[in-house]
Amino acid sequence: MTSLVASSALAAEAKDSAAELEVRVPLAPQIVTIGDAPRLIYEFHVANYGRSDLALDDLKITDPAGGAVLADYAGPALDPLIWRPDAGADARRLPAGGVAVIYMQTPLAKSGAGPTALAWRLTIANPDPSKPAKDLTPVSGQIAVDRGPPLVIGFPFKGGDWVAANGPSNTSIHRRSLQQVNGTGRIAQRYAIDWIKLDGEGRPYHGDKAVVGNWTDFGVEVLAVADGKISASHDGIPNNVPFNGGAVPITLETVGGNYLILDLGGGRYGFYAHLQPGTQRVHVGDVVHKGQVLALLGNTGNSDAPHLHFHVSDANSPLGSEGVPYVFEGYQTLGEAGDEMMGQTGWKPSAGQAPIARHDSLPAENEVVRVP
């Protein structure tokens, strides 16, 4: 974990700050291609330890190697990046004793090696002159970029057209899902995708969508994305009736429904959630090979309709871990799905849009991809 408070990393611009803020970056970002562009995904955890409210005024990100500005969010531009548990109307106003998370997604140039570090500078202001803050000197620091390549894997199913629902973006429900497990807030689902299969008409289901067996992906074989060892499993939870609530109360233990975790080596774990009960063909400790059938796709746990939730994290825990990047070997992008996907007319690519080949990339939120 990288903990940064009032660093002199931006030596040319910054000085030591006594502002009553703590700023942490829990996980060093790693360059990963999402869609057609390389990106860095990371978060700032900000706590106000003072007795006066503070306003988060500007957040600037530069490449310390040459000073190039990679991102600069000033004033209202910061608002959509900030989450606060007190859900205040003014996102940038951080109350005394309050905390906030700033969700960052920094795009990088398509060519070149990318930065080895990020320099940041958080400028603050006093939102209430009647209660002056102790110190408004900007807080700054530097974040090392993890230069290791993302894990390259195969798909957790074979063939067809699939929607990367709730896939990687800076605003998806997975990205914003900060879970407290064992006293630490983590984002295990940072790069998670809810995979939904489309039929030949571009539909995720036919007929009555409340019938679980009418969904195109229900019962699809779930595959090992790489060689590895089964490190955790859970079974015995019944399938949910689509859009009719859960078959069991949702807790930390049942949120993933029936699930498997595959130890991929190197401190990387693949999490498969919402599997059908009684269909797991492997047990904890089994060594499996890429492409091997593990179970059947279902609709269990925190799942409105059949889909496969998949992510990779750094520990053998569904949510008590940090999500880490991974990429798929190869696929085609067909377009982006919207609300029309849920209708009986089905999804169709935009007129004139040809499939785009992708390699060593991760689909972005709601991309429709063709899997080999």
CATH code, 248: 2.70.70.10
b/e for 290-314, b at 16 or more Cβ within 10 A?
Answer: eeeebbbbbbbbbbebbbbbbbbbb
Q: How far apart are CA 358 and CA 372, in angstroms?
A: 12
Do 29 and 324 touch, CB atoms closer than 8 A?
A: no
b/e for 2-23, b at 16 or more Cβ within 10 A?
Answer: eebebbebbeeebeebebbbbb
pLDDT of residue 112: 85
| Nearest alpha carbon to residue 367 among 245, 359, 355, 22 | 355
Do 142 and 118 touch, CB atoms closer than 8 A?
A: yes
Q: Which two tokens stand for residue 140?
A: 């700054």
The answer to whether residues 177 and 140 belong to one domain is: no
pLDDT of residue 133: 86
The answer to whether residues 110 and 174 belong to one domain is: no
The 3-state DSSP class for residue 214 equals helix
pLDDT of residue 131: 84
Q: Which of 111, 144, 177 is the last residue of a domain?
A: 144
Count of CA atoms in the C-beta half-sphere (13 A) of 348:
6
CATH number, position 131: 2.60.40.2550
Site of tokens 């060594």: 287
The answer to whether residues 116 and 242 belong to one domain is: no
pLDDT of residue 362: 98
CB neighbour list of residue 112: distance below 8 Å, 6 or more residues apart = none
The answer to whether residues 139 and 208 belong to one domain is: no
Q: Which of 96, 116, 144 is the last residue of a domain?
A: 144
Would you give the DSSP letter of residue 328? E
The answer to whether residues 213 and 290 belong to one domain is: yes
The 3-state DSSP class for residue 146 equals strand
The answer to whether residues 295 and 351 belong to one domain is: yes
The answer to whether residues 261 and 340 belong to one domain is: yes
Count structural domains, the chain.
Answer: 2
Q: How far apart are CA 108 and CA 293, in angstroms?
A: 37
Residues in the chain: 372
> Mean pLDDT for each 10-residue chunk of the chain (372 residues)?
36 72 95 96 97 96 96 97 87 94 96 94 92 91 96 97 97 96 96 97 95 98 98 98 95 97 98 98 98 98 98 98 97 91 81 94 97 94
Q: How far apart are CA 10 and CA 27, in angstroms?
A: 20
The answer to whether residues 196 and 341 belong to one domain is: yes
Domain that holds residue 128: 2-144
| Phi (first) and psi of residue 172, to 5 degrees | -65, 160
The answer to whether residues 358 and 321 belong to one domain is: yes
Q: Which of 144, 162, 184 is the last residue of a domain?
A: 144
The answer to whether residues 126 and 66 belong to one domain is: yes
The answer to whether residues 124 and 215 belong to one domain is: no
CB neighbour list of residue 288: distance below 8 Å, 6 or more residues apart = 224, 227, 228, 229, 230, 262, 282, 294
pLDDT of residue 14: 55
The answer to whether residues 131 and 158 belong to one domain is: no
